[in-house]
Amino acid sequence: MSENILDLREFDVPRQYGFGTKLFFLYFLNVADWFCTQVLIDSGYFHEANPLMSWIMTYPIVGFFVKCILPLALSILIWLFFKAFNLEQNKFTNFIIYCGVVIYSVVILIHIVNFIMLYSI
């Protein structure tokens, strides 16, 4: 009978995500940004705000490479580096990743607003 009772102390400790999971989530937001940006640019009503990325996004293959393939390779290399040298997550690495997640989340929210504006026309 006691096996069925939940131990509430399990819920006191917040879940800690691994370094690879955090990098993957950051990469996922990056790819979502690229996809949304490409769709909005293709609609003809929007343009890329960053001048350098504007030039890159005019060539879809180059944009895909710069926004998807290159960050994936970098994420894998960073993850392998952390694993190879047995490095631990620290406040600095978590801060950098969380800053990236917050920035990309704001960008995705802007994309959502732009999609709402686009489809309400």
Query: pLDDT 10s per residue in the chain (121 long)?
Result: 555 555 556 555 566 788 999 999 999 999 999 999 999 999 999 999 899 999 999 898 999 999 999 999 999 999 999 999 888 888 899 999 999 999 999 999 999 999 999 999 7
Which parts of the chain fold into alpha helices (H)? 19-43, 51-57, 60-64, 70-84, 91-119
**Domain residue spans in the chain?**
16-119
Cα–chain center distance at 10: 29
**How far is it, in rounded angstroms, from Cα 26 to Cα 104?**
8
**How far is it, in rounded angstroms, from Cα 58 to Cα 54?**
6
Q: What is the pTM of this model?
A: 0.82
- What angle do helix axes 19-43 and 70-84 make, rounded to 10 degrees? 170
